[in-house]
Structure 1
Amino acid sequence: MCRWAAYLGEEVFLEDIVTAPCHSLIAQSHCAQEAKSPTNGDGFGLAWYGGRAEPGLYRDILPAWSDPNLKSLCRQIRSGLFLAHVRASTGGATSRANCHPFVSGRWAFMHNGQIGGFERIRRALEATLPDALYDQLEGTTDSELFFHLMIDEGLDDDPQGALERATARVVSAARRAGIDPALKLTAAFSDGETLFAVRYATDATAPTLYTSSFRDGTGRCIVSEPFDRENAEWQPVPPSSFVVMTRADIVIRPFAPVSERRPVAAE
């Protein structure tokens, strides 16, 4: 599984989260404490928002701990909203196109988890995409395909609903293929204004997720695992939760695929 961190607030240097803390994302790339594997060396990526609507993007296949360019960029780039990811592949080659985050227009998306049985349902899921979205696919990961399912489900207008409907599509595809759904989905995504995240799994083992304020409340973080346990109050996000983070507030809502929603009882 992968490790990732996202930030929203006043502009900070990316190094304040990605490289400088004692248990920074780079430290987690070779010594994760809350993942199945401590090593996340199958590439890394950054997506950050600045003066343009679409995010900047930097990805490479080197382990994050061994790329001096990453450290240099993080020392120089300031942003009020960014996503950073270190990859431990659960499928798909180690290639730049398979490294997170993935970007489409103003949206950036990154994922920790996997679609179980993906090779058995990948073709069926790809076939549900319209040509324009299918042509945007650059890599071979379940994560990138899931992101495009979200876009197809109306991400621009309804982020949580799009995520719930995309999740339902994956679950339904697994059932049609005769396999038990096995989706692990701890992801973050943004349109450049709001930071969204989800923690969900079809079983009882959703990958970890935490939120915290940063630098006396001038910013907020959401991460796979804490990068500094001494100077921040990390709050675990419960499983089956959807997070909406703005510069003013954090809202955590229940999350479930559309097919698993319980009907509202009549009054």
Structure 2
Amino acid sequence: MCRWLAYSGTPLLLEGILYRPAHSLIDQSLHSRMGVETTNGDGFGIGWYAQDTDLDAPAVVRDVGPAWNNRNLREIAKTVRSPLFFAHIRASTGTAVQQTNCHPFRHGRWLWMHNGAIADFHLLRRELCLAVEPGLFADIEGSTDSEVMFYLALTLGLEEDPPGAVARMAGLVERTGRAHGVDHPLQMTIALTDGVSIWAFRYSTERRSRSLFYSSRVDSLRALHPDLTFLRDISDETRLVVSEPLGDLPGAWHEVPEHTYGVVRPGADDLRPFAPAA
């Protein structure tokens, strides 16, 4: 499958999250502890929102090589500072290793990334693609189930109601899968953002979802670890959502419950139950 992280908070250089933690996403590209595969070397991508510009859309860089030895990624991470960014390392579930299949996917101001799969996607692909709004279909560049899921959610109202659109997308995938005799059609952890809020989802038809964690409140971590200087330099709004923890700091990470989605946004974050729309 894949590994990913979403960051929101005090503007930081990307390398501070991508490279410096003991079990960083770059380390996970070779040594994942909780993924289906230990190695995630079928491409990578980062997407970020620039500061002090008039650009509404995020920047995206994707490549087909492994993240652990990419010099361009290292250079970007040393110089790009952002208050909100996505990063993804890919382990293909069968679709081609090509740049257009690397996450995150972008449409307008939105970013989307996924870990998981639509079971027997080759059987369901035509029907699901035909459900995408014609005006959006031409923007699909790759061949992954993940990108089709994104465009189905856009079709079903993502820009107005992100949780509802993801629920309608999941319901459509499950109905289509079962119509084709697929017992457990959907496996997903998903992150999406409009550049202000982040929504993260953990769901699977068989109730054995891929791992997903969120970081503790910064004020709680300061109380637990008053000697850690880096906690003094970040705001109370800073939060990470990750496929697997970036380190072993006690009290730093909490597992997202099964069939749940969370919202990271200015003010109060939230965890809520998730179910596909009937």
TM superposition score normalised by structure 1 = 0.94
Secondary structure at 1:47 match in 2: strand
* CA contact 1:244–1:252 (8 Å) conserved in 2: yes
Distance in 2 of aligned mates of 1:128 and 1:230: 45
Corresponding position: 1:234 with 2:253: yes
Corresponding position: 1:252 with 2:271: yes
- CA-CA distance at 1:231 after TM superposition: 6.7
Residue 241 of structure 1 aligns to which amino acid in structure 2?
T
Question: Which residue of 185, 192, 198 corresponds with 1:195?
Answer: 198
Residue 184 of structure 1 aligns to which amino acid in structure 2?
Q
* Number of aligned positions between the proteins: 259
Instruction: Show the 5 A alignment for 1:75-114.
Output: 75-114=78-117
Distance in 2 of aligned mates of 1:162 and 1:23: 33
Instruction: Show the 5 A alignment for 1:27-66.
Output: 27-50=27-50, 51=53, 52-66=55-69
- CA-CA distance at 1:66 after TM superposition: 1.2
Change (3 A) 1:229 1:4: same
Distance in 2 of aligned mates of 1:128 and 1:220: 35
Q: Larger deviation: 171-180 or 20-29? A: 171-180
* CA contact 1:6–1:221 (8 Å) conserved in 2: yes
Aligned to 1:222: 241
Distance in 1 of aligned mates of 2:83 and 2:250: 20
Distance in 1 of aligned mates of 2:95 and 2:192: 21
Distance in 2 of aligned mates of 1:225 and 1:102: 21
Distance in 2 of aligned mates of 1:231 and 1:144: 36
Secondary structure at 2:152 match in 1: helix
Corresponding position: 1:151 with 2:154: yes
Aligned to 2:4: 4
* CA contact 1:8–1:247 (8 Å) conserved in 2: no
- Percent sequence identity is 42
Distance in 1 of aligned mates of 2:210 and 2:145: 16
* Moved beyond 3 Å, runs of 4+: 213-217
Distance in 2 of aligned mates of 1:58 and 1:66: 15
* CA contact 2:119–2:182 (8 Å) conserved in 1: no
Deviations 1:48-100 (A, max 9, x none): 01132110000000100010110110111000000000000012100000000
Distance in 2 of aligned mates of 1:114 and 1:19: 27
Residue 167 of structure 2 aligns to which amino acid in structure 1?
E
Question: Which residue of 174, 177, 184 corresponds with 2:187?
Answer: 184
Deviations 1:99-150 (A, max 9, x none): 0000000000000000001000000000111221110100000000000000
Question: Which residue of 101, 124, 129 corresponds with 1:126?
Answer: 129
Distance in 1 of aligned mates of 2:37 and 2:125: 25
Distance in 1 of aligned mates of 2:99 and 2:120: 23
* CA contact 1:22–1:228 (8 Å) conserved in 2: yes
**What is the RMSD computed on CA atoms of the aligned residues?**
1.2
Aligned to 2:70: 67
Distance in 1 of aligned mates of 2:184 and 2:158: 23
